Every structure is written in C-alpha cells, then in structure tokens.
Amino acid sequence: MLNDFGDRPAGALNTADVGAYTFETGGQLPEVTIAYETWGTLNEDGNNAILVAHALTGDSHVAATPADPSIGWWEGLLGPGRPIDTQRWFVIAPAMVGGCYGSTGPASLDPEGNPYGSRFPFVTIRDSVHLEAQLAQALGIQRFHTVIGGSMGGARALEWAATYPEMVDGVAVFACGAASTAEQIAFGQAQVLAVENDPHFAGGDYYGGPAPHSGLGLARRIAHITYRAEAELGARFGRAPQGAEDPFGWPERRRGRYQVESYLDHQAEKLLKRFDPNSYVVLSEALMSHDVGRGRGGVAEALAGVTAVPFLAAVETDRLYFPEQSQQIADAIPGGHPVHTIHSPIGHDGFLTSAEQLGEPMRATLRL
Ligand SMILES: CC(=O)SCCNC(=O)CCNC(=O)[C@H](O)C(C)(C)COP(=O)(O)OP(=O)(O)OC[C@H]1O[C@@H](n2cnc3c(N)ncnc32)[C@H](O)[C@@H]1OP(=O)(O)O
Ligand SMILES: N[C@@H](CCO)C(=O)O
C-alpha cells in the first residue's frame, strides 16, 4: 500500500504483491508489495526489458508517464527517441523495499493495521534484488537486456548482475563501487545516528506523533555535503553571508548563516517534505551492507562470475564514490572494460545532473 510520504497523482504507480519474504538476515514480512512505473511495451518473448534502479532517496519516477507527466530524475535518458528508446524497450523502475515511495516500508501497515516502524526488518541490497526478481517473474519478464543504476541504484544493478547472471545481459553502474568502503559506511553511520538520536525517533515508532525531522535534516546535510565537490561549494558560495544575515553574531552566540548553510538548510527542508526518517535509516543501512562479494569468496571472485556486458561510469569530481572504485569493477569483470568519465564539477550528484553525457556511449556499449 502507499503511505503518506509520496506526493504523487492517483494512478501514478503500479503495484504487485509478491507475497511473504524472509530477508537475508532472517527478518520476515508476511506480505510485500513492490511499486513500480513502466514505459513502453513488453514484447511477446518477454526479452526487451530494462530495469532502472533508483538511488538512496530516489523513486520510480525516472521519466514522465501519462499518469504522471511531471519531469523524472533521468528524464533525458528515457523516452521515445531518447538513448533508452521506449518505442523499442520496455522499461521498469521499481521502488525499493524499505523506502517510502509505494513499496512496503516501515510506514506500511502490518496485517493488523499498525505501522511496522521499529519492527521493519534489516534490508540488504541483495534482498531488494531478490524481491525485484519476484516482481519480474510476476510480470512475465524472462530476462533483462540491461539493469541500470547510479549510486545505490548502481549497487542494486551490480548485485543483480552477480545474483541473477542468467537474467541480466547488460549492466550499467554509475558512481558506485563493488562494496561500500569504510568511509562510505562511516558517513552512513553518522546519518543513521542523526536520525536515531532525535528525541522524536522513539525507537522508530513515532507514527502518530511528531517525526524525527531534526535528525533527518541533519542526516541530509551530512549526506548532501558528500554529494557535492569542495571546489563547487567554494565557487558557488565561498564565505558569503546569506542575504542580510550576519554570520558574526558573537559574543551573543547567535549568528546569521553563511550562504552554504542556508543552501544545506534548504536541501534538508526539501527532504523532510518527501521522505520518511525510518526509510532513510533502512535504506542507508542497506547501502552500508552493499558488498557484491559477500558469501561469494570476495569481490574479485563475484565479479569474475558476471556475464553481463558492463557499462561503467564515474563522476570525475566524486569524493564519495571515487572513480577508482568504478575502475575496480571494470578490471574485475572479465573482458577488459573502460570507465566512462562524467565531466562535472559538482561531485557525486553529477550522475543525476549530467546523465545526458552517458546516453550515447551507453547505447553503443550495450546495444540499446
Ligand atoms: C537518482 C535518484 O533517484 S535521486 C532523485 C533525485 N534526487 C533528489 O531529488 C535528491 C535531492 N536533490 C539533489 O540531490 C540535487 O538537488 C539534484 C542532484 C537533484 C539537483 O542538483 P542541482 O541541480 O545541482 O541543484 P542544487 O543542489 O544546486 O540545488 C538547487 C536548490 O538549492 C537552492 N539554493 C541555492 N542556493 C541557496 C541558498 N543560498 N539558500 C537556500 N537555497 C539555495 C535553489 O534555490 C534550488 O532550490 P530548489 O531545488 O527548491 O529549486
Ligand atoms: N541525491 C541522490 C544522491 C544519492 O546518491 C539521492 O538523494 O538519492
């Protein structure tokens, strides 16, 4: 069922009930719904499908649909005549389990009608892939020509290629490595604790009362700094004060803001309006769990078994998912593969803001 956190027109999402699910670490849900959007038409053989996986706070709205004509987060990549031509391909974008965009998540109601809250299981990237495979089966999709994603979506795409090699012919991974690094886990922990230490968090059972928005806002600020490059922030904001505010309010210990603080306040405010703090924790921990080599003899061995044609890309100024981490994937998948550079001064978020750079090389490499 849809929760209150999405702000979407009626009918914007399709949903499929995929039944009960036992998570990798043993948690269980008696019923799981996966929400998704689609573009184009699945052919009779069920073999013209492409799956697009969203990032941490993303959703299934990759591009405009008749039911929701608003611009999507990869609008330029997808549509009639675009690099992923929806006159030819059937594209599906599922909302990740644990999130707050229509798939079962912590704000969803259990069979007794109570929100799961603190009882929502620990989710891994691999769990999300297993559930998406069940969705594919329910829809009659035999295999994916390509699975595509950036950042956490890239983790999901790579995990798809390692978990279901027989179902994935091509994989496109942008701005993501083979496993979350110590530093990525460290940034994740700070964000998770920011939410959990908010006095309103109540162990995750805050529904019906005030939400832990102060904590979620702090988490988003930490995250957003990592999504942008130091030079971009410097060039854009420098040390400038925000409007007439005075950052030198001492000795009263009250002060106005620098522009960059106002910018981060704005990014935080925007997320509060659209995201459930519990989902932020669940998905952040899922991303921290990302390790394509877990239980497979390590990253090198897991990637040696990938049979999908890879298309890899990294943002040249990304200081969260460094280009070397994309290179590690390229080197480990048999065959020798380049890493395409996304030229952008802004850092990690360049995989969203400059995605148009990837359209043509991706189409050529993956024969889209
Ligand atoms: C792949 C996925 O699934 S993720 C889904 C898409 N991601 C998101 O929506 C996440 C949230 N947003 C972001 O991550 C980024 O904003 C992006 C990547 C979408 C866009 O990045 P950019 O185009 O570079 O936008 P930028 O980060 O500069 O933010 C611009 C906003 O900051 C505001 N802003 C700029 N300076 C200031 C300031 N001094 N004080 C307050 N606000 C400011 C702008 O007014 C603008 O506001 P708006 O977004 O409400 O229109
Ligand atoms: N801005 C993106 C970046 C995460 O990779 C998001 O919020 O999902």
Q: Are 156 and 125 in contact (CB under 8 A)?
A: yes
Ligand 2 and 368: CB distance under 6 A:
no
- End-to-end C-alpha distance for the chain, whole angstroms: 34
User: Given this model, what pLDDT does residue 343 score?
Assistant: 98
Ligand nearest to the CA of 101: 1
Q: Of all atoms in ligand 1, which is nearest to the CA of residue 58?
A: 3
110 is catalytic: no
CA gap 134, 150 in Å, rounded: 22
Ligand 2 and 56: CB distance under 6 A:
yes
Ligand 1 and 55: CB distance under 6 A:
yes
Is beta strand 49-53 parallel, antiparallel or unpaired with respect to 144-150?
A: parallel
Q: Are 213 and 277 in contact (CB under 8 A)?
A: yes
Is beta strand 14-22 parallel, antiparallel or unpaired with respect to 28-39?
A: antiparallel
User: Given this model, what pLDDT does residue 4 score?
Assistant: 45
Choice among 318, 337, 340, 344 that is catalytic: 318
Ligand 1 and 187: CB distance under 6 A:
no
318 is catalytic: yes
What ipTM goes with this model? 0.92
Choice among 103, 128, 151, 289 that is catalytic: 151
Atom 32 in ligand 1: which residue has the minimum CA distance? 263
User: Given this model, what pLDDT does residue 10 score?
Assistant: 80
Residue 267 CA, ligand 1 centroid: distance in Å: 6
Residue 266 CA, ligand 2 centroid: distance in Å: 15
Closest by CA to 314, choosing from 338, 331, 334, is: 338
Residue 236 counted as an annotated binding residue: no
Which residues lie closer than 8 Å to 300 by C-beta, 6 or more apart?
A: 293, 332
CA gap 257, 221 in Å, rounded: 14
Helix (H) or strand (E) holding 139, with range, is helix 125-139
User: Given this model, what pLDDT does residue 45 score?
Assistant: 84
Q: Are 25 and 58 in contact (CB under 8 A)?
A: no
Residue ranges of the chain whose pLDDT lies below 70: 1-7
Q: Whole-model pTM?
A: 0.95
Q: Are 294 and 125 in contact (CB under 8 A)?
A: no
Which among 37, 271, 352 is the best mutation to test ligand 1's pocket, defined by most ligand atoms within 8 Å of the CB?
A: 352
Ligand 1 and 349: CB distance under 6 A:
yes
Residue 331 counted as an annotated binding residue: no
**Phi-psi sector, 283: left (phi>0), alpha (psi -120 to 50), beta:** alpha
Ligand 2 and 58: CB distance under 6 A:
yes
Q: Are 73 and 61 in contact (CB under 8 A)?
A: yes
What backbone torsions phi and psi does residue 225 show, to the nearest 5 degrees? -60, -40
User: Given this model, what pLDDT does residue 7 score?
Assistant: 66
Is beta strand 170-174 parallel, antiparallel or unpaired with respect to 90-94?
A: unpaired
Which among 73, 101, 227 is the best mutation to test ligand 2's pocket, defined by most ligand atoms within 8 Å of the CB?
A: 227
Residue 57 CA, ligand 2 centroid: distance in Å: 6
Half-sphere exposure of residue 105: CA atoms within 13 angstroms, side-chain side: 28
Q: Of all atoms in ligand 2, which is nearest to the CA of residue 271?
A: 7
Residue 297 CA, ligand 1 centroid: distance in Å: 40
pLDDT tens-digit series, residues 281-300: 999 999 999 999 999 999 99
Ligand nearest to the CA of 149: 1
Ligand 1 and 337: CB distance under 6 A:
no
User: Given this model, what pLDDT does residue 198 score?
Assistant: 98
CA gap 176, 150 in Å, rounded: 7
Ligand 1 and 226: CB distance under 6 A:
no
344 is catalytic: no
Ligand nearest to the CA of 56: 2
CA gap 38, 55 in Å, rounded: 17
Which residues lie closer than 8 Å to 79 by C-beta, 6 or more apart?
A: 39, 63, 64, 85, 86
Ligand nearest to the CA of 262: 1
